[in-house]
Amino acid sequence: MNPNDTPIGNPLLVLREEFDDWAVLFDPDTGNGFGLNPVSVFVFNHLDGKHTLKDIYVELCENFDEVPQNAEKDIHDFVDVLLKKGYVGFEQDW
């Protein structure tokens, strides 16, 4: 994953915000759910095909207190996990 990549969340998924900004990312095709903490919810909500991972990191720092130094890497790792699950992808030019 490159800092300038602009991944996009799978539009078939359901992001169910439940308690205190925690959420479940629900795949209705499989019935699988993936728990997200508030930071992960923030990241997922910015996976719109326009924000780069770098942009997301910058906005995260603007919106959360005490963002750890390794947060940018954590964002990459998180998006990698989502990519492997098919929960995010990239817009294709045809």
Cα–Cα distance, 43 to 41 (Å, whole number): 5
Encoding tokens for residue 27?
Answer: 């795949």
Torsion sign (Cα): 62, 67, 69, 72: negative
In the complex, least distance from residue 31 CB atom to other proteins, rounded to whole angstroms: 6
Q: Which of residues 18-77 bind other proteins (CB under 8 A)?
A: 18-20, 24, 26, 28-29, 31, 33
Number of amino acids touching other proteins (CB under 8 A): 14
Question: Which residue is listed with tokens 């990519």?
Answer: 83
Q: Measured from the CB atom, is 16 or 50 closer to other proteins?
A: 16
* Residues engaged in binding other proteins (CB under 8 A): 12, 14-20, 24, 26, 28-29, 31, 33
